[in-house]
């Protein structure tokens, strides 16, 4: 799932194609009809689907849960998908929806905390280290159980843009590595409650 470029999702699809990840890409969903991620997904033969969420979130939730099920999706990877998932999708895929967040959680997460906002908050807090966090998704923004964390140092003179560039450069491979650990059975998904 991606709202924009879906760079982590693209890295996952590339790793699958290269035989580096035991998985199969089933569907790329965006809340935006013109999502840039659609171009690379279609070029690699991954089905794409736009499900706008603003006008009728409940219908969008039902459509998303249905589309994932009809495509045989077993695990959902959120790659810059900037919408909260609805209760039907969360119930059907409890413990099997993964998100990547560009800062330490829970301190630098929550509603409205994405992209440059996260990096600006990290720098403003004066902490020596940021992080990339992969977590299970639940009904609250950036709240579900943490599965993996990669530290990213905050350097002297960092700006939100420079920190964001370093974090973005590391995110796709970190997501692939985390999924490899899950596929190999070395990292367990949280149990659905």
Percentage of residues of the chain with pLDDT beyond 70: 99
Q: What is the pLDDT of residues 73-125, one digit of tens each?
A: 999 999 989 888 999 999 999 999 999 999 999 999 998 898 899 999 999 99
Q: Which domain holds residue 32?
A: 7-183
The CATH number covering residue 14 comes to: 3.40.50.170
Residue 189 lies in a domain: no
Residue 191 resides in a domain: no
User: Per the domain annotation, does 172 fall within a domain?
Assistant: yes
Q: Which two tokens stand for residue 59?
A: 């219908």
Residue 192 within any structural domain of the chain: no
Is 188 inside a domain boundary?
no
Q: What is the mean pLDDT of residues 121-136?
A: 97
What is the model's pTM?
0.93
Q: Which two tokens stand for residue 85?
A: 């998932």
69 near 92, Cβ under 8 Å?
A: yes
**Phi/psi-derived region of residue 9, left when phi > 0, alpha when psi is between -120 and 50, beta in every other case:** alpha
152 in a structural domain: yes
Give the pLDDT score at 23. 96
**Per annotation, catalytic residue among 101, 135, 143, 191:** 101
- In degrees rounded to 5, what are phi and psi of residue 98? -115, 140
Q: In the chain, how many domains are there?
A: 1
Per-residue model confidence (pLDDT) at position 192: 57
Q: What is the pLDDT of residues 165-189, one digit of tens each?
A: 999 999 999 999 999 999 999 999 9
Asked if residue 118 belongs to a domain, the reply is yes
Asked if 101 is an active-site residue, the reply is yes
- pLDDT bucket at 190, cuts 50 / 70 / 90: confident
């Amino acid at each position: 799932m991606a709202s924009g470029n879906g760079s982590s999702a693209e890295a996952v699809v590339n790793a699958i194609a290269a035989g580096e990840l035991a998985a199969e890409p089933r569907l790329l969903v965006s809340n935006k009809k013109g999502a840039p991620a659609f171009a690379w997904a279609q070029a690699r033969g991954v089905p794409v689907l736009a499900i706008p969420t603003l006008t009728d979130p409940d219908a969008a939730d039902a459509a998303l849960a249905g589309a994932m099920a009809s495509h045989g999706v077993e695990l959902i990877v959120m790659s810059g998908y900037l919408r909260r998932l609805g209760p039907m999708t969360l119930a059907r895929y409890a413990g099997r929806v993964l998100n990547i967040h560009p800062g330490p959680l829970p301190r630098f997460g929550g509603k409205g905390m994405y992209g440059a906002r996260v990096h600006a908050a990290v720098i403003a807090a004066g902490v020596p280290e940021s992080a990339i966090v992969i977590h299970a998704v639940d009904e609250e923004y950036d709240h579900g159980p943490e599965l993996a964390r990669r530290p990213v140092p905050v350097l002297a003179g960092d700006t939100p843009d420079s920190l964001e560039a370093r974090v973005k450069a590391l995110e796709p491979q970190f997501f692939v590595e985390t999924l490899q650990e899950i596929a190999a059975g070395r990292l367990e998904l949280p149990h659905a409650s």
